[in-house]
Structure 1
């Protein structure tokens, strides 16, 4: 959060284009886990017809079909607000289609390369087979957050460039390439995990909060942790 605000400002980008899998849950859980720690929050819904504000603390992007994905990427590039927010230190969590378009390039439905927003050093294209089903991965040790679980439904294959690092290593599922899942660069995180990702993974939600506000107090295990363990037990 900025020095001039005590409220965590959560910006949900383009719910009219990028919200195929209940991605509003990510905003709600992030807000809840912040408020349980005494951190005030506000959630802004920024539609594709709106300018992206640069004053947010964390920006969330969700999944979408091919055509809405292309439109979202074009508007984010022309608007420039998300890129400026990252330059001033904001945190980003992008899921699936949102993950692909914040990279340097991604593929359309014919796998033609298109320019991304350019805030994460990844390149995405289309694989020969579709990745569908439960996915389990271990967040890299330097970030913390433990084992994560989700549902993937994509044909993307993502290559991570030298300025970014894998977010996690796959245990079950495809992710980027059968070996890694997601990527991060500074305070920008991307993942293929649906579910939504943060309700299913309290540790990942807390990682996003730490990137925004620094150290946070632990919480007593509750329904989020129970859901996480149930989903892991179902596939392991």
Structure 2
């Protein structure tokens, strides 16, 4: 965890630019599942006018429209704090626009390539059609296995470079390209899943926590697990 080893620091990056689809719920569920295990947490909101602290444990980025996405990428590149944090071993979950901008490059609204933050070996552009609807995918076994569910609304298509691996195999929906969904590289995870992703997928929330905390005590099944199963049953 952070230098104050008794507190898990969850950093929500640019809620003023990257929070179109309620992805703040990812921060709330991480905090909840940590505190249910007796882990003290602090949620740090970093706005686009603020420097990104490097002492965090888990960094979260959400979705956004084209222009806020471009601005967020520019500011994160010039700031450098997120990249330094990952070099220290912090975990990252980036969703949709956030997923694209942490890569090597992404497309603007005319599909011209723009430079990303460069912490995930992916390159994103615009597809011919928009991906909208429920998505279900099978997580790579080496990541932890299991099925994830969410909602996608994007025109992006993402290609993985040799240093990144697919987070999951698409069962329903588009994700990266109709075959895979998301990517991971070390402690950095990216996905197109909204919903938000972590309230819909408690096991994925626990995976992020375990990166910084280590092995977690199991929790009794609750509404999160029920929601997860209900959404899969509704579309499969």
Please report the TM-score for the alignment, with normalisation by the length of structure 2.
Answer: 0.99
CA contact (8 A) 1:137 1:170 kept: yes
Distance, in Å, in 2 between the alignment partners of 1:100 and 1:76 is: 13
Gaps of 5+ in 1: none
**Runs of at least 4 residues of structure 1 off by over 6 A?**
none
Shift in Å at residue 2 of structure 1? 3.6
1:208 pairs with 2:208: yes
Partner of 1:15: 15
Q: Secondary structure at the match of 1:227?
A: helix
Map 1:131-150 to 2 at 5 A. Answer: 131-150=131-150
Partner of 1:48: 48
Partner of 2:89: 89
Map 1:94-105 to 2 at 5 A. Answer: 94-105=94-105
Distance, in Å, in 1 between the alignment partners of 2:7 and 2:146 is: 27
Q: Secondary structure at the match of 1:215?
A: coil
Alpha-carbon deviations, 1:17-42, whole Å to 9, x = none?
Answer: 00000111000000101111111100
How many pairs align?
Answer: 236
Q: Secondary structure at the match of 1:232?
A: helix
Q: Secondary structure at the match of 1:93?
A: strand
Distance, in Å, in 1 between the alignment partners of 2:210 and 2:169 is: 21
Partner of 2:58: 58
Shift in Å at residue 5 of structure 1? 1.9
Partner of 1:231: 231
Q: Secondary structure at the match of 1:176?
A: coil
Distance, in Å, in 2 between the alignment partners of 1:14 and 1:2 is: 20
Partner of 2:176: 176
CA-based RMSD of the aligned residues comes to 0.8
Q: Secondary structure at the match of 2:142?
A: coil
CA contact (8 A) 1:149 1:232 kept: yes
Q: Secondary structure at the match of 1:230?
A: helix
Gaps of 5+ in 2: none
Please report the TM-score for the alignment, with normalisation by the length of structure 1.
Answer: 0.99
Change (3 A) 1:3 1:71: closer
CA contact (8 A) 2:2 2:9 kept: no
